[in-house]
Amino acid sequence: MIQFDMRYIWLIPLLPAIGAAINGLLGIRYFSRKMAGAIACTTMTLALGVSLYAFWQLLGLPNEARAFDVVVAQWIPSIPLATRGGIGMFQAPWGFRLDPLSGMMILVVTGIGTLIHVYSTAYMHDEPRAGVARFFCYLNLFCFFMLMLVLGNNFLVMFVGWEGVGLCSYLLIGYWYEKKSAADAGKKAFITNRIGDWGFVLGVFLIYSTFGTLDFRAVQNAAAMMPVETMHFGVLSFICLFLFVGATGKSAQIPLYVWLPDAMEGPTPVSALIHAATMVTAGVYMLGRNAVLFSHAPYVMTIVAFVGVLTALMAATIGLVQYDIKRVLAYSTVSQLGYMFTAMGVGAFSAGAFHLMTHAFFKALLFLGSGSVIHAMAGEQDMRKMGGLKKHLPVTFATMMIGTLAIAGIFPLAGFFSKDEILFRAFVANKAIWVLAVITAFMTAFYMYRLMSMTFFGGYHGPAWDADPHAHAGAHDDSHGHGPWHGPHESPTPMTFPLMALAVGAIVAGFVGIPAAIGGGNSIEKFLEPSFTAQEVRLKPDTSLQADLAEHEESHVSVNVERGLMVFSLAVAIIGILLARKFYVTSPEISDRLADQWAGPHRVLSNKYYVDEAYDATVISGTFGAGRGLWTFDRRVVDGVVNGSGWFTIVSAWFSGLADRTVVDGLVNLVGRICEEGSFWFRKLQTGLVQNYAMWMLAGIFAFVSIYLFMR
């Protein structure tokens, strides 16, 4: 009975797809703003309902049996294709898989997606009617692809979602396509993602050629049978490396993170949904999905961990000095994604997935809050022109404060549990990574509180407004957002409601993962564990991975160390917040003085380590140079050959024409001339006088008769 219900999980991605189709085909032309928003929100809410029901059914199953595959239809029929072990049958179904990991992901995507759809109805209120429908069409389409990505049961379905979310990201970043910076940012995001996708595709090719299948479960089971590549860099390591290249593109890690800060050109709900909560976590999800493969490639795991923690540190340092409110959050996202990869890299797959979930809540909250601030400031994003907004935006302030405390890792908010789990696992695995991660945690607390201070505390630095209270009151009504700006004001209910809902999420989401050290059950780890191990391994406990885990348990540091680490990281976060409070609230002159004192490093950070410039100078100008070189080759050599053959034809045609004119025409004219000259004499015989002819006749007859008579 339960299985029967789960057969309909394909409805979850289908519903947003229907919404996108309706809005795309009819909405852009016919629907009002309200109608388009209502359709998008309805489909998302239905998808959320189906997801919740499916998840509830999943919880009803015993822990080991929580995996369900549904094949909707055959996609690619069996094709014989060469693999490493002979000819295999390549085939891919439209298959969906619900297991703990994808169950958690669909809840995040549909849950936060629904809230952001609701938020968007108010945020996009001032856009042109057709633009709103287009926006909701893209947003729904994104949710469809994202759900395909997380629900697919083989690499090809996942790849469809993977490419689709990239496309929607491009469309939504470039939503205001008349603005050059937005169009450029969209292109940058898409092209950078393509570089990552190249790695992902190579990984998928290698997986097929190694295992002869693309089904997640089959690949996991096959990989679990292979030895762990501790001593050499074998085929599994290459697969994982290629997949990780794909993840760096989608999840904005070094060296492909540059697109994410620029992606803030898109509307703020897009930044919240795609570039904070869901799409950018696709890389983390993909790593988790292939946890068995990665567990067998320890070298790549080390690479993942270091890339993750370095990205986290680098992005956090840049975030310290940015002034654009959304850019601070963008770098914060890159940094937090780095945390997730660190977790994946040290083998704490469930900790990474847990952080993914909590981060989705508080980062979506922070982005929507910043959207609310930007909305209140009539499009202003520079934090230097804000300040003192606390009294104007009480709800936004309160919810964003919760988000800030959550991301900083203050007990007992969501970020504390997930971040602490990662820090603890990093401490166990590698002390260097742990040190870098703690520094990042300190910076996270600092720059987030800096953001809050510059935006909500202190004096107001923005433009003045008409202080007429009646006009101000009018701005809250349905004429909201139109006419002259009446100063910062709290956002309407459709925007504040998602903020409050997400704030609740940011508070309670961590409670599913309270570690055992402080008396919790860490239920999320137990819940997610089956997704990260192969079926065979679970059935036969004495295989190598399980042995590793057992050994790991032995080297488990004591509970007291774990508690100590928690207190330490909490202290670090509090120090960061207090320092930011001192620098930006109580004595703001300190920060200016420090900026002057450390002008050089400050400039480097403000310019984001000159990474964009470096890419411009190397990769981009290299590509352009190569293109220009090929163009020169084209012009000189290829065009030269073509022009040469053309020139040769012209010359030979000239000679051929000469021969035609002299020889052929000469012969024809000669014949004509002969006829003309000859006829000059003969035509004189044609006198036209009958008697003349008769006389010649007579003469002839006379002559012939004479010859007859006398010559005989």
Partner 1 sequence: MITPTHYMLLSAALFIIGVVGVMVRRNIIIIFMSIELILNAVNINLVTFSYQLHNLVGQVFAIFVIAVAAAEAAVGLGIILAFYRNKESVNIDEMNLMRW
Q: How far is the CB of 670 from partner 1 (least distance, A)?
A: 23
Among 575, 590, 637, 698, contact with partner 1 (rule: CB under 8 A):
698
List of residues 6+ apart from 393 with CB closer than 8 A:
372, 373, 376, 456, 488, 489, 490, 491
Q: Does 687 bind partner 1 (CB under 8 A)?
A: yes
Among 1, 467, 539, 690, contact with partner 1 (rule: CB under 8 A):
690
Instruction: Work out whether strand 86-98 and strand 68-83 pair parallel, antiparallel, or are unpaired.
Output: antiparallel
CB 223 within 8 A of CB 155: no
Structure token pair of residue 668 = 């024809």
Q: How far is the CB of 672 from partner 1 (least distance, A)?
A: 17
CB 13 within 8 A of CB 72: no
Compare residues 467 and 689 and give the one whose CB is closer to partner 1.
689
Backbone angles phi, psi at 679, to 5 degrees: -70, -15
Of 430, 421, 438, nearest in space to 525 by CA: 421
DSSP-derived letter for residue 558 is P
Q: How far is the CB of 709 from partner 1 (least distance, A)?
A: 15
Compare residues 233 and 704 and give the one whose CB is closer to partner 1.
704
Structure token pair of residue 251 = 């999840």
Compare residues 638 and 695 and give the one whose CB is closer to partner 1.
695
Among 473, 550, 671, 694, contact with partner 1 (rule: CB under 8 A):
694
Q: How far is the CB of 671 from partner 1 (least distance, A)?
A: 20
DSSP-derived letter for residue 486 is -
Q: Which residues pair with 324 in a beta bridge?
A: 382
Compare residues 674 and 694 and give the one whose CB is closer to partner 1.
694
CB 314 within 8 A of CB 254: yes
Q: How far is the CB of 681 from partner 1 (least distance, A)?
A: 12
Compare residues 470 and 684 and give the one whose CB is closer to partner 1.
684
Q: How far is the CB of 676 from partner 1 (least distance, A)?
A: 13
The Cβ of residue 552 has, within 10 Å, a number of other Cβ atoms equal to 12
**Which amino acid is present at 404?**
T
Q: How far is the CB of 644 from partner 1 (least distance, A)?
A: 57
Q: How far is the CB of 689 from partner 1 (least distance, A)?
A: 6
Q: Does 650 bind partner 1 (CB under 8 A)?
A: no
| Count of residues engaged in binding partner 1, rule: CB under 8 A | 10
Among 232, 470, 683, 712, contact with partner 1 (rule: CB under 8 A):
683
Q: Does 695 bind partner 1 (CB under 8 A)?
A: yes
CB 95 within 8 A of CB 72: yes
**Which amino acid is present at 183?**
A
At residue 441's C-alpha, the angle toward residues 439 and 444, to 5°, is 110
Compare residues 547 and 701 and give the one whose CB is closer to partner 1.
701
Length of the chain: 712
Of 142, 163, 177, nearest in space to 246 by CA: 163
CA 174 – CA 166 distance, rounded (Å) = 12
Q: Does 675 bind partner 1 (CB under 8 A)?
A: no
CA-derived radius of gyration, the chain: 38
Compare residues 2 and 697 and give the one whose CB is closer to partner 1.
697
Instruction: Identify residues 163-202 at the interface with partner 1 (CB under 8 A).
Output: none
Dihedral sign, CA of 342, 98, 531, 45?
positive
Stretch that binds partner 1, among 50-58, 161-169, 241-249, 690-698 (CB under 8 A): 690-698
Q: How far is the CB of 685 from partner 1 (least distance, A)?
A: 9
Torsion of CA 278, 318, 321, 576, to 10 degrees: 80
Q: How far is the CB of 699 from partner 1 (least distance, A)?
A: 11
SS3 230: coil
Compare residues 690 and 711 and give the one whose CB is closer to partner 1.
690
Among 689, 709, 711, 712, contact with partner 1 (rule: CB under 8 A):
689
Stretch that binds partner 1, among 8-16, 194-202, 324-332, 688-696 (CB under 8 A): 688-696
Of 269, 260, 274, nearest in space to 328 by CA: 260
Q: How far is the CB of 712 from partner 1 (least distance, A)?
A: 21
Stretch that binds partner 1, among 194-202, 413-421, 540-548, 694-702 (CB under 8 A): 694-702
Among 62, 459, 484, 688, contact with partner 1 (rule: CB under 8 A):
688
Q: Does 653 bind partner 1 (CB under 8 A)?
A: no
List of residues 6+ apart from 219 with CB closer than 8 A:
155, 207, 211, 213, 290, 293
Q: Exposure of 706 by Cβ count < 10 A (0-12 exposed, 13-18 middle, 19+ buried)? A: exposed
Q: How far is the CB of 698 from partner 1 (least distance, A)?
A: 7
Compare residues 232 and 683 and give the one whose CB is closer to partner 1.
683
Stretch that binds partner 1, among 421-429, 452-460, 594-602, 692-700 (CB under 8 A): 692-700
Judged by the rule CB under 8 A, the positions of this chain that interact with partner 1 are 683, 686-691, 694-695, 698
